[in-house]
Amino acid sequence: MKIKTLSVGYIGANCYIVEFNDKSVALVDPGDEGDKILGEFDADNLKWILLTHGHADHIMAVKMIKDKYNPKIIASIKEKDMIENPDLNLSTQFGKPYSFEADQYVQEGTIKLDNQDVRVLETPGHTPGSVIYIIENYMFTGDTLFKGSIGRMDLPGGSEDQMKNTLKKLSLIDEDYIVLPGHGPSTSLKYEQKNNSYFLLFV
């Protein structure tokens, strides 16, 4: 499996291009600049879009990519209202009201991308339907967990109490995953468990 990271949009959200061994591709959070994203791989191999949450800076290229290549859009069932409501997903505030429907709404558990297992963790706090996707030894954390920080809790749907519970949940994971966040550099789960001040504060 190969993973390429792109910073897209004026907020600089991370979009991840995940190429599996059979050359099929999943995009995680194509937030903007769809042509830039599609120019980084053989787009004919694109099969899935995985969304960690529904904020505008993580979803604004979805419809353009969907219209061109028809990948399957996957998101949390608890994020359905946000994805489908421009006021909730903040695209109205960006001046570009934007909404769509996912093809598959998921809950915590394991889903299949063909033969590839993807573990879905429900991690509310930043938004009600924030999720983390675990593929092999990689953890795509969206705006739940960053290097040395966590996602904002003061935006629509944010909750400090839910974020505390999410961090407690993440603190109990023994595996040391590579953390690929929605903004900023990568890190590791063990490093964050030991050094991230929010773990120390909330857990």
Question: Residue 173 — very low, low, confident or very high, per pLDDT cuts 50/70/90?
Answer: very high
Strand ranges (DSSP E) for the chain?
A: 2-8, 13-19, 25-28, 46-50, 72-76, 104-106, 109-113, 116-122, 131-135, 138-142, 145-146, 149-150, 178-181, 187-188
Residue 100 has a pLDDT of 95
Q: Is residue 10's pLDDT more than 90? A: no
d(CA 63, CA 102): 10
Residue 37 has a pLDDT of 98
Residue 194 has a pLDDT of 96
Give the tokens for residue 156: 């629509």
pLDDT tens, 103-138? 999 999 999 999 999 999 999 999 999 999 999 999
Residues 6+ apart with CB under 8 A from 198: 149, 150, 167
Q: Is residue 202's pLDDT more than 90? A: no
Out of 9-13, 62-66, 103-107, least confident range: 9-13
Residue type, 1: M
pLDDT tens, 15-41? 999 999 999 999 999 999 999 999 999
d(CA 91, CA 98): 6
d(CA 58, CA 32): 7
Question: Higher pLDDT residue, 157 or 54?
Answer: 54
Residue 157 has a pLDDT of 87
Residue type, 196: N
pTM (global) more than 0.85? yes
Average pLDDT, the chain: 96
Q: Which of 135, 178, 182 is nearest to 21 (CA)?
A: 135
Q: Is residue 200's pLDDT more than 90? A: no
Q: Which domains, from first to last, does the chain contain? A: 2-202 (3.60.15.10)
CA distances from 177 to 42, 92, 108 (A): 27, 35, 18
Percent of the chain with pLDDT over 90: 94
Instruction: Return the H-helix or E-strand segment holding 46.
Output: strand 46-50
Residue 53 has a pLDDT of 98
